[in-house]
Amino acid sequence: MSRFVKAYLKAKRLNHRQTPSPFTPKFLELSKEPSVPPPLRERQQPQRVDLAKHLNIKEGDLVEVLHGRDQNRRGIILKINHRRNTAIVEGCNLVSVLNNG
């Protein structure tokens, strides 16, 4: 027997009492209609979040790098790329290019 049938039979037994009990569970009554699942929704594309706006940073702010090769280094934000959610920090992640000519 499933737990729903057991609960239904228990509720029926409680309803056969001579004196009405204030503790008679009303939520155990079963519906005669089949349960209908909620309608399916179309999948929505995740929306872009501008982290610079939510983190309250702007160009010229002094920040500290938390991860990567330049961890714990401080620098001033030179430029913020809102599409890639990145910031260019002065003196961090510099790549040296050798000119042979």
Q: What is the pLDDT of residues 14-72, one digit of tens each?
A: 766 556 566 656 666 666 666 777 788 888 788 888 888 888 889 999 999 998 888 99
CA max distance for the chain: 105
Alpha helix (H) residue ranges in 25-83: 51-55
Residue with tokens 């920090």: 89
Instruction: Give the model's pLDDT for residue 18.
Output: 58
Tell me: pLDDT of 97 over 60.
no
∠ CA 6-12-15, rounded to 5° = 145
pTM of the predicted structure, to 2 decimals = 0.48
Q: Residue ranges per domain, the chain?
A: 1-30, 51-89
H or E stretch at 76: strand 74-81
Q: Tell me: the pLDDT tens digits for 72-90? A: 999 999 999 888 888 899 9
Instruction: Give the model's pLDDT for residue 72.
Output: 92
